[in-house]
């Protein structure tokens, strides 16, 4: 007997036929009667594909999450303004283009603008075009937002700004989003500064109008008082008219005194002439005294002077009695003008100070509850959530695709639904190919026209 050195060949055993997906329940074994078990079997058989898709989606989601620019939110909170302040309603009316005075205009502005509280007025001012344009110009937001015009820049700024009001506490919250935390905090603070400035500028209350009127009136009265004082001082210095009334009284008394002395001297002179001759020393002394008193009286009385002359005599320290009435009229007029201007100035100064106090009460000032600090934590994007959601979506999509493909393959080709789906897909492909050919032909024809125009 001969033995070969090799082992006998084993006949290949044929693999059992693969059961179609979702086969008839009678053809299934007892462990396959569960309705969801075939789905899990199919997914487990394609686990490598699912794992690859999950891994790729994880990497893609991580790349997207870290490519999205980081954003920071800076928030400031304002206390509710005084609802009784009419200046705030007037500012809102001015923003709306209205005019008027008093609390009635504030109520009218609230009705027209649909504002339920003073906080809503602040919100309306913060969202106005004036405030937005101020911020766009200050921070160069057109360049930052890559906006070609102001309207697009305003839309981007509105999208990055949130202004809300707590209906219970009426506290206003301003939140600004930006890629840089320092700029976000600066923009939030800029909103507060512009709000404070606009409310003060647009306040047209009665106290403000009164204060502006009194300022102009005070300037005019001050100028008039200065002119009156200058004219009065020049007149008094030129005519030596310090106080005409007192000067007249004193000069009349001095003239009466000189007149009495002269009468007594004349009586003494007549008595001496009866005893002595005119050449007697006593007689000449009395006569000289009478002459001197006469000159003093003539000097005080202004004998021989022109009454219309403006200046006093060069050798006289004070004006004469003859000139006092004329000087008294001018002096009294200038003095009266000066005193009137002084009284008016004093009265207007008191009213001006009261108007400033009233205006300060009526103009609402912005009270900052929380200052916009530089944020130290980003607000967007949530990278872990983006990675998780992206991975889950891609995994679920590939699982749905696997199950749908299996169901499609297991469906009988003669099924009307499958036949209709194939026909619809073929029609869409045919229509798309026709559209592509038409576009290609149009492009070729257009190129030919351009070449012909170039040759011409």
Task: Determine the pLDDT at residue 204.
Answer: 60
Task: Determine the pLDDT at residue 4.
Answer: 43
Tell me the pTM.
Answer: 0.51
**Domain locations in the chain?**
35-68+382-432, 72-204, 213-355
Structure tokens at 405: 């493909």
Task: Determine the pLDDT at residue 303.
Answer: 57
Task: Determine the pLDDT at residue 405.
Answer: 86
Structure tokens at 304: 């021989």
Show Cβ contacts of residue 389 under 8 Å, excluding neighbours closer than 6 positions: 61
DSSP assignment letter at 71? B
Task: Determine the pLDDT at residue 363.
Answer: 65
Task: Determine the pLDDT at residue 99.
Answer: 42
| HSE value, Cβ hemisphere, 13 Å, CA-based, for 232 | 22
Average confidence (pLDDT) per 10 residues, the chain, 456 residues: 41 44 48 72 89 93 89 91 53 46 44 58 90 93 91 93 90 93 94 87 71 88 86 73 61 69 80 77 82 74 51 52 62 78 89 82 76 87 91 93 86 79 82 81 70 60
Task: Give the residues across from 75 on adjacent strands.
Answer: 175
Task: Determine the pLDDT at residue 292.
Answer: 82
CA distances from 324 to 128, 206, 256 (A): 71, 50, 16
Task: Determine the pLDDT at residue 102.
Answer: 42
* Residue 35: exposure state from Cβ atoms within 10 A (0-12, 13-18, ≥19): exposed
* Residue 430: exposure state from Cβ atoms within 10 A (0-12, 13-18, ≥19): exposed
| HSE value, Cβ hemisphere, 13 Å, CA-based, for 297 | 15
Structure tokens at 150: 């102001």
């Amino acid at each position: 007997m001969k033995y070969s050195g090799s082992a006998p060949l084993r006949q290949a055993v044929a693999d059992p036929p693969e059961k179609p997906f979702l086969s008839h329940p009678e053809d299934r074994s007892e462990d396959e009667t569960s309705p969801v078990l075939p789905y899990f079997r199919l997914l487990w058989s394609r686990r490598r594909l699912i794992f690859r898709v999950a891994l790729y989606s994880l990497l893609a989601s991580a790349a997207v999450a870290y490519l999205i620019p980081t954003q920071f939110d800076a928030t400031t909170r304002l206390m509710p303004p005084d609802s009784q302040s009419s200046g705030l309603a007037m500012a809102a009316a001015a923003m709306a283009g209205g005019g008027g005075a008093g609390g009635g205009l504030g109520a009218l502005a609230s009705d027209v603008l649909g504002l339920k509280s003073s906080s809503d007025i602040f919100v309306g001012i913060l969202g106005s075009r004036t405030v937005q344009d101020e911020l766009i110009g200050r921070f160069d937001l057109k360049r930052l937002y890559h906006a070609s015009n102001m309207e697009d820049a305003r839309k981007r700024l509105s999208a990055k700004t949130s202004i809300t009001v707590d209906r219970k506490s009426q506290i206003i919250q301003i939140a600004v989003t930006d890629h840089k935390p320092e700029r976000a905090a600066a923009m939030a603070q800029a909103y507060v500064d512009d709000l404070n400035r606009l409310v003060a500028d647009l306040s047209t209350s009665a106290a403000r109008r009164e204060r502006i009127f009194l300022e102009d009136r005070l300037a005019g009265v001050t100028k008039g008082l200065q002119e009156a004082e200058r004219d009065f001082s020049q007149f008094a210095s030129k005519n030596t008219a310090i106080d005409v009334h007192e000067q007249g009284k004193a000069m009349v008394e001095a003239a009466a005194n000189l007149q009495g002395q002269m009468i007594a001297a004349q009586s003494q002179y007549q008595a001496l002439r009866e005893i002595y001759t005119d050449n007697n020393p006593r007689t000449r002394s009395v006569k000289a005294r009478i002459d001197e008193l006469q000159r003093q009286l003539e000097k005080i009385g202004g004998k021989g002077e022109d009454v219309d002359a403006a200046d006093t005599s060069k050798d006289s320290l004070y004006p004469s009695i003859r000139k006092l009435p004329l000087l008294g009229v001018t002096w009294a007029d200038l003095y009266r003008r000066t005193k009137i201007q002084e009284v008016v100035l004093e009265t207007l100064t008191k009213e001006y100070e009261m108007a400033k106090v009233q205006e300060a009460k009526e103009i609402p000032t912005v009270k900052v509850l929380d200052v916009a600090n530089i944020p130290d934590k980003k607000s967007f994007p949530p990278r872990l959530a983006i990675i998780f959601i992206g991975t889950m979506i891609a995994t679920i999509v590939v699982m749905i695709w696997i199950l749908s493909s299996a169901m499609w393959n297991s469906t009988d080709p003669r099924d009307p639904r499958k036949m209709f789906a194939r026909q619809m897909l073929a029609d869409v492909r045919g229509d798309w190919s026709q559209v592509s050919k038409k576009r290609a032909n149009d492009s070729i024809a257009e190129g030919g026209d351009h070449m012909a125009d170039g040759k011409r």
